Structure formats: structure tokens, C-alpha cells
Amino acid sequence: MPGGKARNGNASGSARRPDSGSADEGSTGLGSVHPGGLLTARCAAGKKKCLRFLRERAWAVSSTPTIHSELKCRGEPALPAERRQQQRVSESQSAAEEGPAGLWDSVKKAAFVIGSGILLLAAFGNSLTWHLQRFWGASGDFWQNLWTRLYLAYEGHDASLFYLGTMLIPTVAFWVPNSLLLWADTTGKPSFITRYRIQVDKNNPVDPAKLRSAMKTVVFNLFFLSGPMVVGVYHLTSWRGNPCGPELPTFHWALTELAIFSIIEEIMFYYSHRLFHHPSFYKHYHKQHHEWTAPIGLICIYAHPLEHVISNMLPVVMGPMVLGSHLATTSLWYCLVLWSTTISHCGYHLPFLPSPEFHDFHHLRFTNCFGVLGVLDRLHGTDSKFRQTKQYERHVLLTGLTPLNESIPDAPKKVSRHRNQPYSSATSQTSVNVLSLILVFLLLPLFPTSITRPSSVQPCSQIHDRTDERRLQRPLPLSLGIIQQFQKADSQNI
């Protein structure tokens, strides 16, 4: 800078401002930075202003060249690199400040919500299950008689009866639906299943080599890890009492146990799952499970052996062990868990079944949706990205036959003005309209008057034209409304 020297008297070490012209023009700017890092400033407003400026801006000089500090002095916007550095520093500081406190707040919220749910269940349990209890009572004798015959057949062999209910029956319950899903994954048939695929561009069909490799791990985990663990569960449960008692639990108590099992599973699976997503554990254990970004049903137990025991098995078996549950309740719980995790991984959003969008998104993005029920994800904020996506809009119980990929498409498409009844496709909806018209004309002779049919059928491409509607002879008000509705529906599907 003209006329400006470093404090140590080394003029050669000073840097010239790129836009400075004279000493008067640079009277409000900074001086230069010595290679040693000393900052010099010249300010016409006086010594106090210079010192205040130095205190506020000196931190920027330690990591940026002279021109960067001068740009900040003149009030110009910071460079992108500086903004990124500032953002990283602020995020690290906020994370350090919120660390244990933020986690503790989330845990308190979870305890409050779960505790409130238990209280509500206890308060309204009798009234909510009264009608179900009556239904169960009507068929209770049947199940009790069936259990009595089974109990007498295995009298004196409680261990064999326990293994039958916790190993053989759940294994059959696992392979029956997965065999059907595996057929759909490998052949692309039947279409009434494959049309509900969530990730339409994946696993169509599934890679045979990748499937064979996964099948080996699934069989190993199912028979060589889950089997011995069930043996240990039997001995631990026997300490609480006989799990194979002669009397079945009441319907009310069975529902209560299933609710408690679900809460225990949600807590244990969520935190163990998040633990396996820590970088220290993920690359060694959990990465194997996430090789399938578009999962299929069998992948629900495709995992490292350590993960399968800690994250897959322990959250499931802990509830029956803690409560000392009856074998009938335990067997039912194991079957429900296997069906639930199969649906979550199957990759198809099938009608009248729980939505798998939540866990499918976890396999797609990795950083969200760690739990089973989604309660702890909402409390910890680990579903924030998921709630901003189309998958979240599709995360509902499908009560129709139209795939949600079509009714809630990724790209904007023209859909029916009836938002609750979106059209699946132009072809299928037109077929429905034709059948409906045939039904209408078959029922018209039942009315005292008749309808005059149009002289000619107009092409679908011309239905938009108002002139075509004028060519129709004036029919009865009832039939006019029906015909116009189908015409507008066909025009929207073009």
C-alpha cells in the first residue's frame, strides 16, 4: 500500500491492495500482512476504531491471504470457502453444546410418550377389548381344547413343545410368504404383485448371483444362530416358570403382552440399529445388510452374525423372557415379527398390508428411519429427510388396487380431479368406464323412459372438443350426468 509500512519496518514484506490508488483512497482500509502473520492497519477514524477492527477481524487473517481480509474489511461478501469453514465451525460448536443435553432431552421425550401410552392402555384396556373378549370367548374353547390335546401329546417333554412353537412354526411362517415373494423377484410374475414394486427400476428381476450369496447367509442365521439362541431362551424363560402351562392366557392379557413386546422391540432395535450405523461398527458389521439398497423379503435376516444376534434377535426375545410369557403368546409374537420384517423388506407396497415405505427409504438413504414403529425416529428427528419425500406421502395403508407409484407419482402427472380415487392408467380406467357404460345401458330398460343414444361415437382425442358434446342428442338428466362424467374421465387420461 502506498505510504504504508509494516511495524517491523520491513517494507518489502507488505502486500499491495489490488485496488488502492493513493494514500487518501485507502484511508479507510487495512494495511498489509507480513509473512510472519502480523497485521497492520491504517484508519482515519482514529486509534480506537483500528483496534476494534483488529479485534473483530484478526481471526480471519490467520487462515486467509491478505486480499481476503481486505475484502471482509470493505464489507464484501465472504468467499464460499470461508462460508463453508464458518458453517463447519458453528455446527461443531452447536453439536458440542447440545451433545449430551440434546440426547437426554430426546430420551425424556421418549419416556414421556411411551409412559403415556402405557397409562392409556391400562386405563382404557377393558373398554377397548371388551368386544374382542366376547369374540375370543366364543372361540376360546376351540383353542383351549386344541392346546390341551397338544399339551397332553407332549406331556413331560416341555422343551420339545417349546421348540415346536418357537422354531418350527415361525420358520414355516417365514418361508411361506417369502417363497411367493422370491418367485415374484426372480420371475417378475405374477403381475398383481410386481406392479406394486416400490423401486420400479431395481430388482426386476433380482441378480441370481447376488441372491445365492444372500441365501447362504440367511440360512446360516436362521438355523445356526437363531436355533441355538432359542434353546438358551427356553432355559432362561423356565426360571420364571413353566412357559408351556396347561391353560392359555386370556385374550386381554395376550394383547397387553403384545403391546409391551412392541415397545421393548422399538427401544432396543432403534438404539442398537443406530449403534451399528456408527462409522466404527458400520463398515465391519452393518454394511453387509445395506448391500441391498432395494431390499427383498429374505434380506430381513441377511446380516452379519453379530448384528443378527444383537439387533435382530435380542429385541424380539427380550419381551417374552422378561414377562415369562406363555408359549402360545411367544409363538404368535415370533410369527408376527417375522411377517412384519418381511413386509418391511419385501420391496412391494401391497394393498391392505402395512406400508414398507419407511424401512425401504432407510435402505435407499441409510441416514433416516432406524426404528420399527417410527416413534423414536420422530422424537430424535431421524425421519426429517423422509418426511420431505414422496415416500412419506405414500407411507399409508393402501386400501385400493391402484399402486401408489401411480397415484402419487414422482414426476407431476395429470390425475383425476377426484383426489381420493386417482386413475392408475388411461387403459385400465377406460376399460372400467366401458364396463360401467354397458352396465348403465343394461339397467336403463328398468326405468319408465329410455335414452336416445348418440348418433356416432367420437374418438377419444376429440372428446375435449365442446362441439362434439353438442352433437349428442339431449338425454335424460340421469344418463347425461353419467355419460359426461365418463367422457371427462377419459379426456383426462389422454
Average pLDDT in the 202-210 region?
Answer: 88
Cβ(4)–Cβ(32) below 8 Å: yes
50 or 167, higher pLDDT: 167
DSSP at 257: H
Q: What is the pLDDT of residue 481?
A: 53
Q: How far apart are CA 219 and CA 41, in angstroms?
A: 74
Q: What is the pLDDT of residues 343-384, one digit of tens each?
A: 999 999 999 999 999 999 999 998 999 999 999 999 999 999
Average pLDDT in the 417-444 region?
Answer: 42
Q: How confident is the model at residue 240 (pLDDT cuts 50, 70, 90)?
A: confident
Q: How confident is the model at residue 286 (pLDDT cuts 50, 70, 90)?
A: very high
Q: How far apart are CA 373 and CA 365, in angstroms?
A: 18
Q: How confident is the model at residue 231 (pLDDT cuts 50, 70, 90)?
A: very high
Average pLDDT in the 449-457 region?
Answer: 40
Q: Above 90 in pLDDT, residue 95? A: no
Q: How many CB atoms lie within 10 A of CB 92?
A: 10
Q: How far apart are CA 421 and CA 49, in angstroms?
A: 69
Average pLDDT in the 81-90 region?
Answer: 56
Q: What is the pLDDT of residue 128?
A: 56
Asked which of 88-92, 140-144, 450-454 is least confident by mean pLDDT, the reply is 450-454
Q: What is the pLDDT of residues 64-78, one digit of tens each?
A: 444 444 444 444 444
Measuring CA to CA, which residue among 49, 56, 50 is closest to residue 72?
56
Residue 41: C-alpha distances to residues 19, 69, 70 (Å): 16, 11, 10
Q: Above 80 in pLDDT, residue 312? A: yes
